[in-house]
Structures are given as C-alpha cells and as structure tokens.
Amino acid sequence: MKLIYQLLRASLPTRFEGRCFRPLPLLISGVRSRNRSAAFRLQKCRTPPQPQQGSSGISVFQPLQPQGCAPGLWRRRFATGFEAAIVGCVVVVAASLTGCGKPHDAAKQAPPSVTVSHPSQEPVSDYLDLTGTVAPSRSVDLVARITGYLESVSFQDGAMVPEGQLLFVIEPEPYKQQLALAKAAFDRAQSEYDRQSGLIKSNATSVANVEKWFSEKEQAAAQVELAKLNLGYTHVSAPFNGRIGRHLVDPGNLVGPSSSTKLATLDQLEPIYVYFNLNERDALQAAVTMRQRGLDPRSGKARVLVGLQNQEGYPQEGKLDFVDVGVSTSSGTVQLRATFDNKDRALIPGAFARVRIPLGDPLPMLVVPASAIGNDQEGDYVLVIDANDVAARRAVVKGPLMRNRCAIRTGLTSEDRVIVNGLMNAKAGAKVAPISEPARQPAPTSPAA
C-alpha cells in the first residue's frame, strides 16, 4: 500500500487536475472497505469552497458538487473509477517488476568453470579412530594399618618416588614395646618347654604338661611375629616406582584402620595404560580384518597410536594387550586396553586421548581431495564429468582420511574426472567448463591426524 500511495501522489496532479482529496491515506484504505461512500471524501475544487456559518457559530467548508449530478451519485461513480485507477496502477507496477528480469533476447549464459582431476592411487593404511582415557598401570591408596599419631612425612608432594622409599612414620614406640613383651613371653614359654621335655624322660612330669608348654611356646612365637608386623606398619614405604600425590594427613593427627585413614595415592606411570571402547559392529569387523591380514587382536602385537589434545597426529605408539571377554550388555561395546612405555611421561592419568588402531599394512586405494566429497540425504557423493562435459552425481564410500585428502573404497575408477574445485558452481545434469588440475604426487603412507 505504501508503493501505491507514492504512485498516486506522483500521478494525481496530471490525471486529476482540479480535484483534491481529503485525506489521501483514507482514500487508499478505502479500497479495502465496502462502504466506499464513507471512506472516500472527494470534492471538486474548480472553485474554492465557500465558508458558511454553522449552527455552532464556527465557519466550516462545504464541498461543492458538480452541476447536474446528484449529491451521492457523483461520489459513488468517481469512487468506482478511482478504484479502477488504483488497480491499474498495481497492474502496471507488477508488470514493470516482472520485466526487471533477464531480457528476452539475452544471450545464453556460458557454463561455469570447474577444476577436475583424476583420482590418484596411493598406499593407504586402514584404521579405526576412537577416543580413550589414560590410566596408570598400577595405583594404590596408602592407608594407615595401625593406630597411632602420624610423626613425619618423608616426601615432596607430586614427586617421583622409587620403590622402597620411606613415605610416612606412625608413632613406632608403643609397637616396639609390644614386640619386646612378646619376645619375653616367648622366652619364658621356650624355657619351660625345655624343662618339661627333660623331666618327661625320667617320668617326673606328665605328657600333658609337655604338650601345654609346647602350645604356650608356639603362641608366644606367633605373638612375636605379629608384633614385628605391627612395628613394620609404623613405616609406610612406596610399593613400586611411581608418582605420589599430595599428603592428605598432616603430622600430629591420629590415624588408624578404624577410621580408614587415607594418607596419599601412588600411581605407576611407566608403563601406562589407555582404555577405550569399541562398538560391537566395528569390533567384529576389525577382528575379521586383522585376522585376514595376519594380526591377532589378543596377541599383544597389534599397534595402537595415541595423541593428546595438545599434540599433532599420533606420536605415542603402544601395543594392544587386553580385549575384554565379551560385549557389555549395558553399552553394547567392548573394552580394550593398550600399554605404552611412556618414557617421556607425556601421558598422564585421567587425560583424554585420541586413539588410532591401524588394521594391517598399507594397501593401494584411490584418493581424492576431501573438499571434493559432498554429502546429502542419500549419503556421500562426488561430481564427475562425462565425455560431453556434463556433471553427474556419483555415490562413493569413504575410506581413511589423510590430512586434506580422503581415500575412496568404492564408487570411483582411476579414469573418472572428478570436480575438485568449484563444486558449488556445478550441478548434476548441467554442462560445465572443466579445467584439468596437474597430477599429484603420492602422499606418505602414514595416516594423518
């Protein structure tokens, strides 16, 4: 309506001279109303309107109707004609807008230019990409096994500690005295047993006394060993080489087994594990593929590559050493584990890891740029050019991705011309102007990040 309003303002001075419209927006909105006599207030203005005195004493202007025309008839006739004029304007505008497209005699557009190339055959390693979690090969929570006050902490928090290093000391004096008491009881039982054994030879004592003191001697010996163990528990040492966390109890606190006091945690980082899960379908397919290529997943010889979030590619190499006995019914996956030497200690427990499992030696495959592969509701595809330079859609099955290039398992031949640049300009079934790309040298066989 705004466009019609502007057109009317430009055309009214020449088409409707001598007539004035009050107000013009009301005329436009009046087209929508069936009550045209109330919406249109058209007056002939060949002579200026004469002021008249109203009943309220205020001068008003009365419109002058044309001579020989009834008061309401000329308004209705002109409203109908004016409405026709508006419709005509709309038709003219629509026709002009429709004609703003291509000229009828415009020349046919030239086909778009695209870059084409033949797929290159390169050795490609087939692999599985997964995600996993780093875990220590051994982990232990150091706890207090006897009751007493913690006397000292003999390590630096977060340090690497060797096997056997003293870590904590828990009040040893009470346990030294218990050991001495047990030894004294053992010495008395041993002496009495020896005396009874001599008396039995001369029938001066009974066999029951000999057996009694023999039992006393054995019990005392057991108490000595138990006292030695308790005394040993006052010194907590590292059970293996690893990295220890922070101490959780300060010296002076009472610790003991009754409160399950955890002193610290020790993790072994060399070697280290990476755990990851494989869904049932991929696990079955991977097992078949590896056996076809002479690899046994449970032999401990299958290679596993790992990379962290701050690393490019997969610099860490290890061996697959564990495959779970079955598929988890809750998740539908099989858990696997790989072990790594981790000499540089780059892998830390709890870290997220990218995992890649090569499925045998490299095999020759056709490779195209990854940007040449499209995807729609029907799946992955590429656009190929026939002998008449007409683009056609070709469904493909993707293989491993190598940097910015992707291997193709099925769907292409080495003689196909694939659009590798200008894919957005081409359309299946349309003619294109192909430009050949220079031949590409084969890429390295190592898989990319």
Q: Are strands 303-307 and 333-340 parallel, antiparallel or unpaired?
A: unpaired
Q: Scan for tokens 């997964």, then name that residue.
A: 130
CA 330 from centre of chain: 22
pLDDT at 281: 87
Helix (H) or strand (E) holding 85: helix 73-98
Identify the bridge partners of residue 168 per DSSP, sorted by sequence position: 153, 236
Rounded Cα gap, residues 418 and 373, in angstroms: 10
Domains, in order of start, for the chain: 2-97 (no CATH), 115-121+364-436 (2.40.420.20), 140-265 (2.40.50.100), 268-358 (2.40.30.170)
- Cα angle: 22, vertex 28, 30; to 5 degrees: 85
Question: What Rg do the C-alpha atoms of the chain give, in angstroms?
Answer: 48
Sign of the Cα torsion 432, 438, 439, 441 reads negative
Structure tokens, 405: 């290039």
| Cβ contact 431:395 at 8 Å | no
Tens digit of each residue's pLDDT, the chain (449 residues)? 555 555 545 554 444 444 444 444 444 444 444 444 444 444 444 444 454 444 444 444 444 445 554 454 444 444 445 454 554 555 444 445 444 544 444 456 888 999 999 999 999 888 888 999 999 999 999 999 999 999 999 999 999 999 999 999 999 999 999 999 999 999 999 999 999 888 888 888 888 888 999 999 999 999 999 999 999 999 999 999 999 999 999 999 999 987 778 999 999 999 999 999 999 888 888 878 777 777 766 666 788 999 999 988 899 999 998 988 889 889 999 999 999 999 999 999 999 999 998 887 788 899 999 989 999 998 999 999 998 999 999 999 988 887 788 999 899 998 999 999 988 888 888 999 988 876 565 555 444 44
Is-contact 277 335, C-beta < 8 A? yes
Distance CA(420)–CA(114), nearest Å, equals 8
CB 182 within 8 A of CB 227: yes
* 32: DSSP letter: G
Side chain identity at 48, as an amino acid letter?
Answer: P
Q: Give the C-alpha distances (Å, rounded to integers) separating 134 from 299, 354, 408.
A: 21, 10, 33
Measured between alpha carbons, how far is 399 from 407 in angstroms, rounded to an integer? 5
